Chain A
Amino acid sequence: MKKWTHEDVIDSIRNSGKVKPNTLVTTSSRFEQDLGIDSLDLVGILLDIQDDFGFEWTDREISEINCVQDIIDILNKRSQTNAA
């Protein structure tokens, strides 16, 4: 897995073409309610992040993602596991 920052995650979401221009994306943004991203678009974004960051989501991880922070939490956990 590549090195990553919170900004990288937010950039991936912002550059996915699924967020309307001028929409604020923060770590607390919820995909459906705040960003207007439905579950199918979310899967598309997660596939892109997986490719860009070089890892593979588990089905369980994908089902637990509701907001940007959820992605960061999972990536943190994965980074710790990799480091250990």
Chain B
Amino acid sequence: MPRLVDNKNRKRLVIIGVGANCALGRTWPEAWKGLAAGQGGISHNEDRLPPGRFLSSYGGFVKGFGPVSDDTDERLSRLDARFLHLGLAAAEEAMQVLKGKEFDPERAAVVATSAFGGVDLQDNDRMKAEARGRLQIGPFTVPGLLINQLGGQISQHLGLFGPGFAPSNACASGGHAIITAALLLRADMADMVLCGAAESAFVPSIYNAFYTMKALAAFRSEDRATADPSQASRPFSIDRTGFVMSEGAGMLVMATLEQALKLQVPILAELVGFAVNSDGYHMAAPYQPRIEKCLGGAVADADITPYEVGYYNAHGTSTPVNDATETAAVKAVFGEHARRLPISSIKGAIGHTLGAASAIEAITAIQSLRNGVIVPTINYVPDPALDLDYVPVVARESFPTYALSASFGFGGTNNALVFRRFEDEEMDTRGRH
């Protein structure tokens, strides 16, 4: 029987289910397969991003699912906001593991969030009203726009009635949701938590604003992305010009180790440490000193040394400023170990899913620990100023014990999560997965 508390006498927390969708697949196994194979999911799509309405047409899209496709979830037919459809699908996938298991739904919390919520529904309804020449606007605009509606729909359709929160923290939202889940479990407000984030914010007012503020990738005609759109997002590369906006969702089921043992479900990984802090510096720019504090804080919270971290899953947006700042922060926190530490960003493959990114990245870190495979940073062309090991282009076999996944959001908000590989001998259930 494993110990139910850690060395700091805190409840041990484990991940027992995951689900995700992104530009590389509609389910997590599909997406993982693409990530591990070094595939790129970014495309140039003038149907979704028509010129004349959008300043560029590069993006990462979940294909063939949800509003604006033929395959849509009937349960959400009135809420044509894609983040709800993507989020509910990922939540349902993550909860599969609990099928047939008995648990108290009042002790199952939902922490599901997004950076932007149902802006696509809002935009469509606004355009319809304008075309009618009316001020009256569709009755589902408000319910579908709300960020916490994702948790609401998950609760309604999956029957989870515990506490609900929607911590919206820009591009760090998913990680903040995971941390909020951990706090709820440690505060004994729940036995398990469905946590994560979903995003689909392809509306002109957001896409074009990211583009105008030069956060989004922009290309000259001779750029390699023109011939091959899958090369548009290129974290840590010399020719990176900005991030590529994407949609997707990532959901995890986190439980106390005690609850996981009761449920007799396979344990995917343990969340052993985390940190979250605020820059107090700038509305959009990252701030290296506070990012260092956050990374170092998570390592200390995990009660390990930086040398024990064997994989760093990067925020790695492919913007000039993020990738340089993050590299410098990693060097400061990990010292000499930084040069031996495998670092990769999946944003080269799936783009930046904004609020959902850190949830999908946490799932990636967990899967890396389980499979002994570190997924690559694709589209990589070295930048002499950034001289760490970014696991370029091809996946690498490696069996680290600890993986750290970090995310930084506009508004100066950071999180870092440390996961530990769950050892066979600790549980007799792992092999059954």
User: Chain A residues in contact with chain B, CB under 8 A?
Assistant: 40-41, 43-44, 47, 50-51, 56
Contact = CB atoms under 8 A, between A and B. Distances in A.
Interface in B136-193: 136, 138-140, 143
Contact of A44 (B132, B134, B138): B138
B78 A47 contact: no
Contact of A51 (B78, B132, B138, B143): B132
Interface residues of B, number: 8
A43 B139 contact: yes
Contacts of B140: 40, 44
Contacts of B134: 47, 50-51, 56
Give the interface centre of A41, A47, A56 by most chain B CB atoms within 10 Å. A47
Contacts of A47: 132, 134, 136, 138-139
A56 B134 CA distance: 9
B45 to A, nearest CB: 28
Contacts, number: 20
Nearest to A51: B132
Ranked 5 nearest A-B pairs via Cβ: A43-B139, A40-B139, A44-B139, A51-B132, A47-B136
Nearest to B142: A40
B268 to A, nearest CB: 39
Nearest to B131: A51
A36 to B, nearest CB: 13
A56 B139 CA distance: 16
Nearest to B128: A47
A43 B140 CA distance: 10
A44 B132 CA distance: 13
Given A47-B138, A47-B139, A50-B134, 13 more contacts: A40-B78, A40-B139, A40-B140, A41-B78, A41-B139, A43-B139, A44-B139, A47-B134, A47-B136, A50-B136, A51-B132, A51-B134, A56-B134
A60 B136 CA distance: 15
A43 B78 CA distance: 12
A45 B232 CA distance: 44
Contacts of A43: 139
Contacts of B143: 40
Contacts of B139: 40-41, 43-44, 47
